[in-house]
Each structure stands twice: as structure tokens, then as C-alpha cells.
Structure 1
């Protein structure tokens, strides 16, 4: 075998050489296993409640308001995927106060403006999954997703390879968004 082909054959003899290049994302196993997800409705152990105690850069918090904050998703679908989260540990959208509802809406608008300024997406997916059955990964603490979208961003990688290629580290993305948020 030629040198480059030899590298495709697993050294331990497990698996079949198939000439495919692989992007290994072992950090995703924490998400798949559900690590750090809170049990039940309690705020104890809730990652969203815990983030607010950390420095913004460490928590990937882009901006803080009076009743909500914007934070990058640790497992983003696209670069700039952030969430608007109330400080208060509340599960259901209908349980938000008027002030929380208003600020959540204003933060969503601001996040769209900032995203457009920083990365010029062609559109956005915005939404929240209410309850585990609806797809909420952390159902006990409401959070609204804002996912920037570009034409062609759903290519063969996620569709066939179940892998998302992100061109920027989360810390760099947070810094760009946080800087633009204050402009």
C-alpha cells in the first residue's frame, strides 16, 4: 500500500478500510449521553442556572439583560447558534412574566441584528421546544434557539455523515457577537 492509503487502515485491525476521511467529534458524546442535564423540574444542577454564575467568556454568554441572557449553544447546529434564556428557572412559555416575555422578544431581535452584522446569514430558524416530547434537550428551563442559516449549509455532511463542520471556535464566535452586541 502507498503511504497515504496505509493510514486509512486501522492500526488495530478493527474496521474496514474504505478511503473515507473522518472528522472525529468525541466531545459530542457528552450531549448524546445527556451528561449535565438536570433531573426533573428542579433548578439544582440546571446548566442554564449555573451558567449565570460564571464569567461571560467562560459561560459563552454573549449579553445579559434584566430578565434574560443570550448564550451560545454548546452543541451548535450552525456558527452563531445562540439561545435566549430567562434567568428564572421556568419551563413553560406561558409562565413567563410580561417583563420576561418582552425582553426575550427584544433579545431575539437584537441577536438577529447582531448575527446579520457579524456573519451575514441568509435567514434564521427561531424557536423553542416545549417539553421532552417536543424535542427539548433541557425541558425544565425554557430557552429559545436562534440559528443563523445560509444557502447550502445543509449539505452532505449532516445529511449523510451526521457531522456538522463549524469553521470557528465557540470562544471566537462569542467574542465577535458580544463585541457587536454593545455597538
Structure 2
């Protein structure tokens, strides 16, 4: 319920994606990697254990608004995220993508971000369907500790 009940900031200092990289303590905000224009972070409201987000430091809402160097580093960071997850968690596959615009499901439409979601054969179960509940086997703190050594 925290995600559903949380206020939905649109832009600026109320936007968590703009605030996260300003923190000096990567562990406290679950940042795994900081590039020149893009950073990689554990999703605070994951679809699945190990769900990562690749986010530009600059607040932009569309792929067209990214500079060429940002687009290049975004793809490189997505690949880095997959590599980290593969080494640490050994998933059977990945969902990788963007929700661009509120109608497409973007929680913060003014600040695009790529989702990197590890998937395992048989990771579907009745809980999300019957009770709108996800069962995550590990805390974000513990997951950050597992992934961080592979992010360096």
C-alpha cells in the first residue's frame, strides 16, 4: 500500500528520481551504479526481487529528449544491470522496458526510466491474481548487499 498511498510528484525536488542521486550514501537509497549521465538503482516498489531502474540524472520525459550520449549510456547501463542480475541471481530471463506517459503506466511521467526485471521459470503464482499481493523473498537492504559486489 505505500506505493498506492504515496503522493505522486511530477517534477523538481519532489521527484524522487531527481533527489536520489544527490544522496552521498548509495546504500541508503539503493543506488548500485553511478555513470556520467545515468544511474542504476533498486526499485523501491519492485515487480519482482532484484527489479532495477536505469535513470538519467537529467529530468526528461521522453526518449526523444535524451541527448545522444545519454541514450548510449542508458543502453549500456541497462546491459550492466542485466549483467549484475545474471551474475548475482541467475534469472532465466528479463523484462526490460519503459512506461512512457501516465496512460502507459508511468508513475513519474516527467522522468523516464528503464525497468530491468529478472524473471524465473515458474515465477508466476496465484498471489498477485487472487489477493493483489506480491511475495518478495528478500528485503531491499539484503538484495542491495547481494548485487553491489557485481556492480563495481
Summarize deviations over 1:28-51 as a string: whole Å, max 9, x none. x2211242x213xx3231100111
Higher helix share: 2
Aligned residues between the structures = 151
Report the equivalent of 2:4.
32
Match of 1:44 among 13, 19, 40: 13
Partners of 2:122 and 2:150 in 1: CA distance? 25
Partners of 1:176 and 1:153 in 2: CA distance? 20
Structure 1, gaps ≥5 residues long:
1-28
TM-score by length of 2: 0.95
The question of whether the paired residues in 2 share the 8 Å contact of 1:62 and 1:175 is answered with no
Partners of 2:34 and 2:58 in 1: CA distance? 13
Flag as ranges the 4+ runs of structure 1 deviating above 3 A.
Answer: none
Report the equivalent of 1:129.
99
Q: Answer with 1 or 2: which has the greater Rg.
A: 1
Report the equivalent of 1:169.
139
SS in 2 for 1:90: coil
Structure 2, gaps ≥5 residues long:
none
Match of 1:144 among 104, 114, 123: 114
SS in 2 for 1:44: helix
1:154 aligns with 2:127: no
Matches within 5 A, 1:90-105: 90-105=60-75
